[in-house]
Structure 1
Amino acid sequence: MGEGDHSGIAAAEAPLTGVTVLDFSQFLAGPSCALRLADLGARVIKVERREGGDASRGLFLADMAFDQDSALFHAINRGKQSYAADLKDPGDLEAVRRLIARADVLIHNFRPGIMERLGLGWDEVSALNPRLIYAGVSGYGPEGPWRDRPGQDLLVQSLSGIAWLSGEGSGPPVPAGLSITDMMAGAQLCQGILALLVRRGISGKGGRVDVSLIETAIDLQFEHLSVHLNRDEAMPPRSAVSNGNVYLAAPYGIYQTADGWLALAMAPVDRLGSILGLDALARFAPASWFAERDAIKALIRDHLTARTTAEWLALLEPAGIWAAPVLDWPALRAEPAFAALHATQIVRSPNGAELTLTRCPIRIDGSILTSPRAAPRLGADRTEIDREFAA
């Protein structure tokens, strides 16, 4: 069975079938939330600017284009419909209000105050549609001195302390290579929407959910911050050797081998030394595994270059030591475990072109969720939607 071939849950059985979502957001956080709702069966109508639409349609376009737009745009907007409108035009605004009056969910990521100035703030739309779930994602929340800063993932990683958790010792801060605060904010927003849909099913009333990238970034660090907030300390020191976690003892980290890299998680240092044939680790008492972690890690680092990753794993895995090879994307895709997940899917454009994308990671009733339809062309569905919502 090839990538993307695995059959998924039937659309009629998806849990959000019958739910209509208006997605006013662009780039990543809001659209990724709407994408997950679409994966779960909701109908998502993407409301975009007439000129250019979602800015991510052209992002990375020079590197990878598919059916007029970027592969990135298709990755986070597959399966949606597109409704192009100028929200400053009275006629378009009235048409959009007709959609809102009958929708179940509205998602936006405008800066604080913009929706209110457009006449589409919570007070206005909740009066128009009391059952509506109104969902907003911002960079830094509705108030405070950072309120109007650009809400962008790298900036939020930098402001929130996340960038200081990676990297080694006194080296520079290292941001995550993924847009983690965007993606997690989208996931948090999705959770809030689903909770309000459940509440609406009980009370019949809609509600409002708001998340911000900065609050998401703070929450994402709860494991570390919960320790830091209850200690009298400055920023905890990063390990100077194979740093993996500021609060975990040796051997936690990634180490070079003769032919690649090996990740070691939590393990008793003395037992690890016995398995690896590294007798020098026996002198470190358990109480010193954190205090002397750099010295311990340096010994492990120098020892592991003598053999290949596979040779070390052949010793470590049977002994129950938590270890794994560090795979790049081609190596991951070559693994039978990757094929067994059916982690990708094929989407098709109106002209029949195909693009391989990741799929929804959620399984419902044991079945995976797939959506074979590519992202929509700008404004492609407006005529049909206007006719339907005018009825």
Structure 2
Amino acid sequence: MAELPLSGLLVLDFSQFLAGPSCALRLADLGADVVKVERPQGGDLCRQLYVADLALDGDSALFHTINRNKRSVAADLKDPADLEAVKRLVARADVMIHNFRPGVMERLGLGFDAVAALNPRLVYGAVSGYGDEGPWRDKPGQDLLVQSLSGFVWLSGNADQGPTPAGVSVTDILTGAHLAQGILAALVRRGVTGRGGRVDVSLMESALDMQFEQLTTFLNTDRAQPRRSAVAHANVHIAAPYGVYQTADGYLALAMTPVDRLAELLDCAALEPFRDRSTWFIERDAIKAVIADHLMTRPTADWLAVLEAAGVWAAEVMTWPRLVEHDAFKALDVTQLIESAGGGTLLTTRCPIRIDGRILTSPRGAPRLGADTAAMLEEPMLDGNARVGE
């Protein structure tokens, strides 16, 4: 079987929680040997961040999902002997990732300038909450706080609701993806020039980039806060019928569809006054209210039978129990079973990327704290563990 694209690369992951570790996870999925460098006392704080009290080998299930297929070194970076051992590891690494607050790594002697002197080929990736400058520089970089400060929470929920955050850590995961993109670009440049470099991302910049469509409109018009729909809201800038509607037995999502065409397909006479395209945004609440009342009269499957046959972009709003039993979900083969060092197992998602048609999986769960300290710091470096998918 052909090697994965990042096979042979050593990545040091000093980061905690989600953004940095999710980047390192993706690099591991693509073949890199990823080593977490953790505090001897407790390690990555995410080890104790439990979701629904689900744990494996004493560590949270969340920790295992975001740190699977990695190794662990326990080192006290304030201890001169440990720090010197870590610096020797940095000197032979390809990538280094951290999410300490601005200035911390410099005080420890592991800032970019210091490690670049040790290893000019190193690609240095840093995650911050709000960048290295400005009045928010030292604020906690936490997903919900960034969603709130960035205005993102005003894009979801109906108009009569207060600010509505996303139900997942979107800024963390997106920032991790941005960091991975930057690191891969820097590795490509290193392949040409032999020179490493620095990649910086922040949760706030990623949150703002995620809103590029809405912010661009705001910056180039009257700079008023975008208005959410009062009914079936889904996007501040898209006209009716765009949104999610309740049916007689569930929910139905309607994407961009001409209202006059929808009136015919739904046999909805109450939509007749809204045939003029110019009204579809201005009158979107009134239009959506009519659609909402009409769709309540029949089951989701009845509406889909009509709409999908006509090529209208519509979909059932599925619950997870229904989704995982669907043949479409099974066809994607998106889950994998990982095993902890203690023999416990956890069913989780796999890497969403395929390389040369190959699905990337690994059975190896997250490492026990410090499991690889001796191999990495106290003895000559051993060959990397089995790569993803092998």
TM-score by length of 1: 0.96
Name structure 1 gaps, 5 residues minimum.
1-9
Say which SS state the counterpart of residue 292 (structure 2) adopts. helix
Q: Partner letter of residue 96 of structure 1?
A: V
Say which SS state the counterpart of residue 62 (structure 2) adopts. helix
- Cα distance, 1:248 vs structure 2: 0.5
Aligned pair 1:49/2:67, yes or no? no
Corresponding residue number in structure 2 for 1:156? 146
Select 2:380's aligned residue among 381, 388, 391. Answer: 388
Aligned pair 1:334/2:337, yes or no? no
In structure 2, C-alpha distance between the alignment counterparts of 1:359 and 1:233, rounded to whole Å: 42
In structure 1, C-alpha distance between the alignment counterparts of 2:46 and 2:380, rounded to whole Å: 28
In structure 1, C-alpha distance between the alignment counterparts of 2:35 and 2:197, rounded to whole Å: 20
Aligned pair 1:130/2:137, yes or no? no
Select 1:323's aligned residue among 293, 314, 321. Answer: 314
Select 1:212's aligned residue among 192, 202, 224. Answer: 202
In structure 2, C-alpha distance between the alignment counterparts of 1:229 and 1:108, rounded to whole Å: 33
In structure 2, C-alpha distance between the alignment counterparts of 1:193 and 1:371, rounded to whole Å: 22
Corresponding residue number in structure 1 for 2:277? 286
Taking only aligned residues, the RMSD between alpha carbons, in angstroms, comes to 1.2
TM-score by length of 2: 0.96
The 1:292/1:61 distance shift into structure 2, 3 A limit, reads closer
Per-residue displacement from partner, 1:173-200 (whole Å, max 9, x unpaired)? Answer: 1000010000000000000000000000
Aligned pair 1:302/2:311, yes or no? no
In structure 1, C-alpha distance between the alignment counterparts of 2:63 and 2:325, rounded to whole Å: 26
Q: Partner letter of residue 40 of structure 1?
A: L
Q: Is the 8 A contact 2:229 2:284 kept in 1?
A: yes
Q: Percent identity?
A: 67
In structure 2, C-alpha distance between the alignment counterparts of 1:362 and 1:370, rounded to whole Å: 10
Aligned pair 1:97/2:111, yes or no? no
Q: Is the 8 A contact 2:336 2:350 kept in 1?
A: yes
Say which SS state the counterpart of residue 282 (structure 2) adopts. coil
Q: Is the 8 A contact 2:50 2:62 kept in 1?
A: yes
Q: Partner letter of residue 275 of structure 1?
A: L
In structure 1, C-alpha distance between the alignment counterparts of 2:320 and 2:42, rounded to whole Å: 32
Aligned pair 1:344/2:335, yes or no? yes
Corresponding residue number in structure 2 for 1:271? 261
In structure 1, C-alpha distance between the alignment counterparts of 2:269 and 2:16, rounded to whole Å: 56
Corresponding residue number in structure 2 for 1:173? 163
Q: Partner letter of residue 209 of structure 2?
A: D
Select 2:354's aligned residue among 359, 363, 388. Answer: 363
In structure 2, C-alpha distance between the alignment counterparts of 1:288 and 1:241, rounded to whole Å: 16
In structure 1, C-alpha distance between the alignment counterparts of 2:160 and 2:320, rounded to whole Å: 30
Select 2:30's aligned residue among 40, 60, 64. Answer: 40
Corresponding residue number in structure 2 for 1:5? none
In structure 2, C-alpha distance between the alignment counterparts of 1:282 and 1:189, rounded to whole Å: 50
- Cα distance, 1:354 vs structure 2: 1.5
In structure 1, C-alpha distance between the alignment counterparts of 2:226 and 2:352, rounded to whole Å: 34
Q: Is the 8 A contact 1:21 1:104 kept in 2?
A: yes
Name structure 2 gaps, 5 residues minimum.
384-390
Say which SS state the counterpart of residue 126 (structure 2) adopts. strand
In structure 2, C-alpha distance between the alignment counterparts of 1:321 and 1:62, rounded to whole Å: 38
- Cα distance, 1:390 vs structure 2: 9.8
Aligned pair 1:70/2:30, yes or no? no
Q: Is the 8 A contact 1:98 1:389 kept in 2?
A: no
Per-residue displacement from partner, 1:148-197 (whole Å, max 9, x unpaired)? Answer: 00000000000001000011113201000010000000000000000000
Q: Partner letter of residue 235 of structure 2?
A: N
Q: Is the 8 A contact 2:341 2:368 kept in 1?
A: no
Select 1:83's aligned residue among 67, 70, 73. Answer: 73
- Cα distance, 1:282 vs structure 2: 2.1
Question: Runs in 1 of length 4+ with deviation above 3 angstroms?
Answer: none
The 1:236/1:83 distance shift into structure 2, 3 A limit, reads same
In structure 1, C-alpha distance between the alignment counterparts of 2:108 and 2:117, rounded to whole Å: 15
Say which SS state the counterpart of residue 245 (structure 2) adopts. strand
The 1:206/1:36 distance shift into structure 2, 3 A limit, reads same
Deviates more, 1:350-359 or 1:247-256: 350-359
Per-residue displacement from partner, 1:20-46 (whole Å, max 9, x unpaired)? Answer: 000000000000000000000000000
Corresponding residue number in structure 1 for 2:103? 113
Query: How many residues are paired up?
Result: 381
